[in-house]
Amino acid sequence: MLIDVTIGDITGVRADVLVTAANSRLAGGGGVDGAIHRAAGPELLRALRPLAPCPPAGAVITPAFDIPPPVRHVVHAVGPRYGIDEPAAELLARAYRASLELCDTVAATSVAFPSLSTGAYGYPAAEACRISVDALREADTAVEHCILVAFDAATATLWRRALES
């Protein structure tokens, strides 16, 4: 799988699937999840209600609703809350792998990921970037292209370093 890093708004990325950093209630929120909910429109929240709750390391998939093509689906991945959900590293890796498994169920060849758990959930970014790259590289998936979408230059640098090692 080809893995690229970019900086920006994940809702503008051209991929079959966008992954969002969801909470276990699947109720929307701030940050990446809020941006994806705003872009997808109110149908997204209605589609998520019967799928909640989702445990840490879990993921669910929905249509992309109002997000323009080529995006067809949104994966809602629940990462661990650092210092609360344990074992945090394994749960974080599983959230990335679960997302790819759902991509495979809809025959996606491209996916865009944010940095799961590093915002409100407090996961140290350097460690989270290393874990995410390792999980993506080790995954058995038909996804051909993964775009890691950093909110800032610091996260992009951490992902690039993880990819180099």
pLDDT in tens, the chain (165 residues): 999 999 999 999 999 999 999 999 999 888 999 999 999 999 999 999 999 999 999 999 999 999 999 999 999 999 999 999 999 999 999 999 999 999 999 999 999 999 999 999 999 999 999 999 999 999 999 999 999 999 999 999 999 999 998
The structural domain count of the chain equals 1
The amino acid occupying position 131 is I
Sequence-distant (≥ 6) Cβ neighbours of residue 37 within 8 angstroms:
20, 28, 44, 45
Asked if 1 and 147 count as a contact pair (C-beta separation under 8 A), the reply is: no
Whether the model clears a pTM of 0.75, i.e. scores above it, the answer is: yes
Active site residue ranges: 33
Residue 139 pLDDT? 97
Kindly state the tokens that stand for 16.
Answer: 């079959």
Residue 29 is predicted with a pLDDT of 84
The residues pairing with 74 across neighbouring beta strands, listed in sequence order, are 18, 62
pLDDT of residue 137: 97
CATH number assigned to the domain comprising residue 139: 3.40.220.10
**Residue 88: enclosing H or E segment and its boundaries?**
helix 88-105
In which domain, by residue range, is 123 found?
2-164
